[in-house]
């Protein structure tokens, strides 16, 4: 486990341990975000075993309600789990579960020219996702937690990292759109910030 590169971690009062869900069961080249995909029992068990050895016990646990996250969260800690829809991945609307190659090039180009405000497939803009992630983090700050374990998605992790660095939702969305970071399935990212 290591702190997320590129984000300040000085004088922290709250530690967030973010875990990306295991690899979902879906073919390569398919657009998915909010789709509720499952993970294999084998992938779940492997991830759970690796995380049990690395993660602290008895800290508050939050998870996206999508089953690729929630199943892992339940396997880690069936007691004290909070499922929060604000942690879900971006909603790609009618693009969901479509092969990327079948999505009209003009639509993908329109999205790439306005990553913050465009609603891919008529779904959700990156700004709307950043606003819900920011609201989730604000609630954590109000609880004045010393630490929390969060099982979520790569997009949620990138936005939480931007949020903890003090950015507004608009700035979070712009940063996440410009600074894609590779986060492995089952990967752990530690963020530290101020609970206010």
pTM metric for this prediction: 0.90
Q: Is residue 87 part of a domain?
A: yes
User: What whole-number distance in Å separates Cα of residue 187 and Cα of residue 88?
Assistant: 17
Domain span at 91? 31-193
User: What whole-number distance in Å separates Cα of residue 95 and Cα of residue 33?
Assistant: 9
Q: Is residue 17 part of a domain?
A: no
Q: Is residue 4 part of a domain?
A: no
Residue partners of 183: CB distance under 8 A and separation at least 6:
20, 154, 157, 158, 189
Residue 132's pLDDT band (boundaries 50, 70, 90)? very high
Q: Is residue 18 part of a domain?
A: no
* pLDDT, tens digit (0-9, with 9 covering 90-100), for 144-170: 888 999 999 999 999 999 999 899 999
Q: Is residue 85 part of a domain?
A: yes
User: What whole-number distance in Å separates Cα of residue 7 and Cα of residue 176?
Assistant: 13
Q: Decide: helix, strand or coil at residue 65.
A: coil
Q: Is residue 49 part of a domain?
A: yes
- Provide the number of structural domains found in the chain: 1
* pLDDT, tens digit (0-9, with 9 covering 90-100), for 106-121: 999 999 999 999 999 9
Q: At 155, which CATH number?
A: 3.40.50.1240
- Is pLDDT of 91 > 90? yes
Q: Is residue 138 part of a domain?
A: yes
Question: Angle formed by the axes of helices 154-164 and 169-178, to 10°?
Answer: 130
């Amino acid at each position: 486990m290591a702190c997320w590169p590129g984000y300040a971690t000085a004088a922290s009062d709250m530690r967030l341990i973010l875990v990306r869900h295991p690899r979902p069961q879906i073919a390569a080249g398919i657009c998915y975000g909010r789709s509720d995909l499952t993970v294999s029992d084998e992938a779940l068990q492997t991830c759970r075993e690796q995380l049990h050895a690395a993660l602290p016990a008895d800290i508050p646990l939050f998870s996206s309600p999508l089953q690729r996250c929630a199943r892992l969260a339940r396997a880690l800690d069936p007691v004290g789990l909070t499922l929060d829809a604000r942690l879900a991945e971006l909603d790609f609307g009618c693009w969901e579960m479509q092969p990327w190659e079948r999505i009209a090039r003009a639509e993908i180009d329109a999205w790439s020219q306005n990553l913050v405000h465009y609603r891919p497939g008529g779904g959700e803009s990156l700004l709307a996702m950043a606003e819900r992630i920011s609201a989730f983090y604000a609630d954590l700050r109000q609880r004045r937690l010393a630490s929390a374990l969060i099982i979520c998605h790569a997009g949620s992790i990138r936005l939480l990292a931007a949020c903890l660095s003090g950015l507004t939702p608009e700035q979070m969305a712009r940063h996440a759109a410009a600074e894609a970071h590779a986060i492995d399935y089952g990967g752990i990212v530690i963020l530290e910030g101020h609970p206010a």
